[in-house]
Structure 1
């Protein structure tokens, strides 16, 4: 970390005060400014979590055949992770603030690696599910710690835009890369390597963390809000499990509504409790800021839209066009490449100039157009003329959204709240993904069933019915991305970031991005 007392203060941003650690408390390598190396370490840690969302899905058929579990049990390999990860994120973010972000990152990396090893060695369905749940627990420590480290490391306006552009590219493209890596490992090695690969990634990230991530300056430790922990954990479990139950058993199952209702009531009770305690788990000031709230809303909606791309386009490529897992992963590659270009080149240059309001608006509309292009797919469509243009346009739009939303959702936050603010970003993505899974899967199943009414039920009829289901999912996802654009255009404030609000939050904030006045 730099030893300067203050970061450069561009016009319209908040002066960001950096504590200058005593030189005798730093190792020689800590005395140097390794911010960009720290970004690389954080990126490696983050990509391990993001990859896990899709790489295991590719391995599921092989794992099912090897361990001998049924189709009705298969969903638990995914649900066990999402339940633990989604429900514990806010606690993980606050623990990062409490025990130090570097310490929490190390614990998260070690725990995630151990859980991945257990999953790769699993000789039974029960052990695999337990390992996936354990991955979720440590992922809930790892993800907010990584993002909050990024938030507190980069405070200069231009550097922050570039750093979050790179981070957004990793977060946005990781799922597609997971499809590719999962296909390669499953086809040429074993499904177990889709879990073992995390040991390699975690080892690299751990070495980088010990060598380059500086020890943070000592700050006042927040107390744990135990009531808040119980309420929000159970509430998020109810919501995530409710949507998972809807995907498996349909919306006709009464338990779906019981879980969802209980989850909503508990979350509401959590919000009420946070206004009554002295040391809230999630200070409401973190989410009530208009700009930050708009960015968080955009992140949640993006997660819903992204589900339509990865799941149903994967089905289309493999089941309709007959692609192998490896070929499917390669087919997705143009999308992460265009996300990287848009996020790191376009987003980095435009964010400080026009602000997140414009970029999220344009990015959401662009990605929506890309998804609409995928509705041109037919039973015998060629990849280059039909699928490829849609993936490129989606990536260009997503890159703008990710780079802008990540940065805006974590800017101007008091340092003692950086962990929980980062956890909110991940929580919105997790809840959005759960909603997308249940909503689009249910709609797809209903459309296919309706399309098969009055047909002979043969292969051609099933293929046409599935194609109609894909198109419906793509149109819904496109509409959701239009809502992302509206979240940017209507919710995020059109004026410059209000300096008085940020200064009153804390004299030691994580930096802000000046938003161009209109």
Structure 2
């Protein structure tokens, strides 16, 4: 007698791409929140644990430096070990470091925890971007991913200021870190549930020598720029750090040319329609944009608190118009690009941002947020959101699947390291202007003079980036405004949906 077969349990349904994209976007949002949420709380953090002026800057730069210096390594690790696995490891490390930062009772512990946060973020950002690109085929699906990425990145940076302000005023500065720890733990669980496992490991070995060289080079560079703010550019330590950074970068270039499994392989820049064109152009322009991006979320909250006298909560609320404009800009970027062309759209976005920054350079010591900062914030947010989407697309153009994580790590590296360098340089310049003005001006006027200088230089950097974008577009074979579409930008094969599986 034949016994009936036991019923076979139905296979669990595969997560929908939209839900998985939301989980990955939440991971990117968390990383960006940690980039800016301490800015509004810096005065209270300094008073609470006795931070010096130089140490206050390092609360921001420790995270940015570790994040930027290790992003290439994080992207390569994601390619070699599996992107989902590296993402989960990064989220776990990020959550633990955030908890320790909130419990810190000294400057050294806080700065060290911020650096470890940066290490976790360096694993999260490239792995999450590569996984998100894998969820959707090339345009228009890929344009959707980049639009979401631009929106959550800008919103995370601005939302970090709001969250930092609200929590600092309500419960104290440690809660800006405790909240990130809790949020990251929730994101980790969401990724486990919603993001499918992937069979996406690339062959090869990890380039330890190249990673050490570039990490030390970037560390020396940003340390030298930051230290120069307090000691001056002629200090022997500053000169040694900057000189050492240059030598290490040269050594890194030599190492990469000779290693078969280089951290930054030449093939990454030999893809796309014109060799060495689009990937290099996208990353160079992103570095310049990043040099202004992080500094904006550093100086604007300081102006609101130290000059206008706003509390942390009101300062955070003041970032909402910028965040909303950024989300709108990122959402509209694909549509505008299809109509006007990628080059024309990018140039217009950068000039819009430059106009907003130049407007911010007219802030006054006896002004108000509505009169001095509201309008400029909206212009900056719109331009920033559009430019981020187009530059990210340009930087991943034509990158082969085996290097998808590395490409994501590289574009995040250029933005983050550019931001760390820009913040260090602008903070040094702003501090010098303030110190000089304090000799013959009241304190608030002197502070405002320093902030005005930072915004003025930022405006010219972004305007110069717009001009450079036009020049590089022609050299790299970027399609002209009449022919370009968003499909011309995000056409990487980094993500073949067929490679996704729940058991890979």
TM-score of the two chains, using structure 1 as the length reference: 0.85
Matches of 2:264 and 2:383 in 1, distance apart?
31
Distance change in 2, residues 1:45/1:266 (3 Å): same
Q: Which residue of 1 aligns with 2:196?
A: 214
Matches of 2:200 and 2:293 in 1, distance apart?
39
1:326 aligns with 2:289: no
| Alpha-carbon offset, residue 496 of structure 1 | 4.5
Determine which of 143, 151, 155 is the counterpart of 1:161: 143
Q: Which residue of 2 aligns with 1:487?
A: 468
| Alpha-carbon offset, residue 292 of structure 1 | 1.9
Matches of 1:404 and 1:222 in 2, distance apart?
31
Q: Which residue of 2 aligns with 1:37?
A: 19
Distance change in 2, residues 1:361/1:315 (3 Å): same
Contact 1:48/1:201 (CA < 8 Å) preserved in 2?
yes
Deviations 1:234-263, CA, capped at 9 Å, x for gaps: 112222222222234332322122112211
Matches of 1:452 and 1:421 in 2, distance apart?
46
| Alpha-carbon offset, residue 323 of structure 1 | 1.0
Q: Which residue of 2 aligns with 1:463?
A: 444
1:141 aligns with 2:141: no
Q: Which residue of 2 aligns with 1:255?
A: 237
Deviations 1:127-174, CA, capped at 9 Å, x for gaps: 323322221221111111112212332332011112211111111232
| Stretch deviating more after TM superposition (98-107 or 294-303) | 294-303
| Alpha-carbon offset, residue 494 of structure 1 | 4.7
Deviations 1:389-408, CA, capped at 9 Å, x for gaps: 11111111111101111122
Distance change in 2, residues 1:211/1:199 (3 Å): same
Matches of 1:418 and 1:218 in 2, distance apart?
10
| Stretch deviating more after TM superposition (400-409 or 285-294) | 285-294
Distance change in 2, residues 1:27/1:236 (3 Å): farther
Q: Which residue of 2 aligns with 1:28?
A: 12
Q: Which residue of 1 aligns with 2:405?
A: 419
Q: Which residue of 1 aligns with 2:459?
A: 478
Q: Which residue of 2 aligns with 1:402?
A: 388
Matches of 2:337 and 2:84 in 1, distance apart?
28
| Alpha-carbon offset, residue 211 of structure 1 | 1.6
| Alpha-carbon offset, residue 352 of structure 1 | 4.2
Matches of 2:315 and 2:32 in 1, distance apart?
18
Partner of 1:322: helix, strand, or coil? coil
TM-score of the two chains, using structure 2 as the length reference: 0.87
Contact 1:168/1:402 (CA < 8 Å) preserved in 2?
yes
1:347 aligns with 2:333: yes
Q: Which residue of 2 aligns with 1:9?
A: none
| Alpha-carbon offset, residue 424 of structure 1 | 0.9
Determine which of 367, 370, 373 is the counterpart of 1:384: 370
Deviations 1:60-111, CA, capped at 9 Å, x for gaps: 3333333344445434433332332222211111110011000000000111
Contact 2:40/2:165 (CA < 8 Å) preserved in 1?
yes
Contact 1:44/1:201 (CA < 8 Å) preserved in 2?
no
| Alpha-carbon offset, residue 472 of structure 1 | 1.8
Matches of 2:394 and 2:479 in 1, distance apart?
12
Q: Which residue of 2 aligns with 1:338?
A: 325
Matches of 1:318 and 1:422 in 2, distance apart?
35
Matches of 2:340 and 2:130 in 1, distance apart?
24
Partner of 2:460: helix, strand, or coil? helix
Q: Which runs of 5+ in 2 are unaligned?
A: 1-7, 271-275, 481-490, 497-504
Distance change in 2, residues 1:76/1:385 (3 Å): closer
Distance change in 2, residues 1:358/1:447 (3 Å): same
Deviations 1:309-368, CA, capped at 9 Å, x for gaps: 222222222122111111111112101100101111x20213345443222211100100
Partner of 1:157: helix, strand, or coil? coil
Deviations 1:270-328, CA, capped at 9 Å, x for gaps: 12221211111111232453122222122111122224422222222212211111111
Matches of 1:480 and 1:336 in 2, distance apart?
21
**Which aligned pairs between 1:366-381 and structure 2 lie closer than 5 A?**
366-381=352-367
Distance change in 2, residues 1:355/1:414 (3 Å): farther
Distance change in 2, residues 1:139/1:220 (3 Å): closer
Distance change in 2, residues 1:270/1:332 (3 Å): same
Distance change in 2, residues 1:341/1:434 (3 Å): same
Matches of 2:306 and 2:46 in 1, distance apart?
18
Matches of 1:468 and 1:73 in 2, distance apart?
23
